Amino acid sequence: TETVEFYGEHQAGITTRQQNSLVFAAFDLKPTTVAQVETMMARWAAAASLLAQGKPVGPVESRPMAPPADTGEAFDLGPNRLTITVGFGPSFFDDRLGLAAKMPEALRPLGQLAVDTTIDPSISGGDICVQACSEDPQVAFHAVRNLARIGRSVITLRWLQEGFGRASATSTDQVTPRNLLGFKDGTANIKAEEPAVAEKFVWVGEETDQPWMKGGSYLVSRKIRMHIEAWDSDDISDQERIFGRTKDSGAPLSGGGEFTDPNFTVKGTDGRTKIDRFSHVRLAHPDSNGGAQLLRRGYNFTDGIDVRTGTLSAGLFFIAYQKNAHEQFARIQNNLAQDALNEYISPVSSSLFAIPPGLTGIGDWYGKKMF
């Protein structure tokens, strides 16, 4: 199966053509030292470079009286385009390690945004994050499990989220997939084939107050529950009004095909704009947000059913990458306070992580220039 290059200017798993499965884990530090965290990051870098090639993280049968170095469940599966993306949360820079002076300004917490009335802190935040994406769910799970195992004296799992299908497209050679509301998601996204757009909106540049972040990015994750049963009883014309696009082709209601730019001024015979002013696409569009754009890389999830109500517990695990989440994600999210879609969704988690740049080669590790 196919391999994604592990070393490079940027970490893989951001502009990489989006894979079909996600396992995302957030970890908290145990009482530890900077030296121990650095050692773990160096071991993670070595392990991740092997995992990306579809290799086990260590020899299996070298010491008969010790547990095998690799847990084994990915032995025969190949790399399956595995990418591992590692980052640091705001809490990593609190008093415990004494690294407060290394915290980027842009990593200050997002705080409570306009729609944030239902956020569960126990599935939000964390000191360190790992995003594992692969075409095979077991390959992604294996990666996170083995990194957790390598780090077990330094960190403990805080929360973990699986995503069973991609809900975005990050390459023009990918078909736009659908989210669980049945609409194409990822049509108007930053794509790998537009490096100049990524340079402007995704990668941290000279503007940062922390040189170690140059070439990195900021990740926002939001677990968003969908009220699926209510949605499923809504008229198709209302569903399309809410997004501002058709369900079938994904074309904007102002006309054209899936990739035609929406026109927010075209009016119908009733004198109203064809794209509703409270539609998701209009309120999320760069024209409504001072030009701000995001690279969206979310996944569909389900947690089974909500036993209190007997309804499906499912939705979108939204992930976005950007140069500055305060100026990009938070700005757009606050503009979405009036989104017609809000009737059918509730955010249940919210996290922000600083994603350092890519690793240059053997001997480099996550955040090496920061420590």
Helices marked H in the chain — which ranges?
34-51, 137-150, 195-201, 228-232, 236-243, 280-284, 329-335
- Interacting positions 183-202 with ligand HEM (CB under 6 A): 183-189
* Candidates 149-157, 264-272, 280-288, 360-368; binding stretch for ligand HEM (CB under 6 A): 280-288
- Residue with smaller CB distance to ligand HEM, 10 or 225: 225
Task: Pick the closer one to ligand HEM by CB: 26 or 188.
Answer: 188
Tell me the window of 10-18, 146-154, 197-205, 279-287 that interacts with ligand HEM (CB under 6 A): 279-287
Greatest C-alpha distance within the chain: 78
Beta bridge partner(s), residue 132: 23, 84
> Does residue number 295 form part of the binding site for ligand HEM (CB under 6 A)?
no
**Which span (93-101, 177-185, 198-206, 302-310) binds ligand HEM, by CB under 6 A?**
177-185
332 binds ligand HEM, rule: CB under 6 A: yes
Identify the H or E element spanning 304. strand 299-306
Task: Rule CB under 6 A: say whether 110 interacts with ligand HEM.
Answer: no
CB of 237 to ligand HEM, least distance (A): 16
Q: Are 319 and 297 in contact (CB under 8 A)?
A: yes
Residue 174 to residue 64: CA distance in whole angstroms: 46
If phi > 0 it is left, if psi is from -120 to 50 it is alpha, else beta; for residue 15 that is alpha
Would you count residue 284 as binding ligand HEM (CB under 6 A)?
Answer: yes
For ligand HEM, which residue of 4, 181, 198, 352 counts as binding (CB under 6 A)? 181
Q: Is 221 in the site for ligand HEM (CB under 6 A)?
A: no
Return the number of the residue (41 or 345) whose C-beta is nearest ligand HEM: 345
In the complex, what is the shortest distance from the CB of residue 362 to ligand HEM, in angstroms, rounded to a whole number? 38
Which of 329, 353, 365, 366 is close enough to bind ligand HEM by CB under 6 A? Answer: 329
CA distances from 295 to 83, 186, 211 (A): 17, 9, 22
Exposure letters 88-113 (e unless 16+ CB within 10 A, then b): bbbbbbeebbebeebbbebbeebeeb
Minimum Å distance from CB 142 to ligand HEM?
28
Q: Out of 27, 88, 159, 318, which residue is the one contacting ligand HEM (CB under 6 A)? A: 318
Task: Please tell me the count of residues contacting ligand HEM according to CB under 6 A.
Answer: 28
The answer to whether the beta carbons of residues 345 and 230 sit under 8 Å apart is no
CA distance 157 to 28: 6
Is residue 310 packed enough to be buried (19+ CB in 10 Å), middle (13-18) or exposed (0-12)?
A: exposed
Task: Point out which residues bind ligand HEM (CB under 6 A).
Answer: 179, 181, 183-189, 222, 224, 226, 243, 245, 280-281, 284-286, 294, 315-316, 318, 329, 332-333, 336, 345
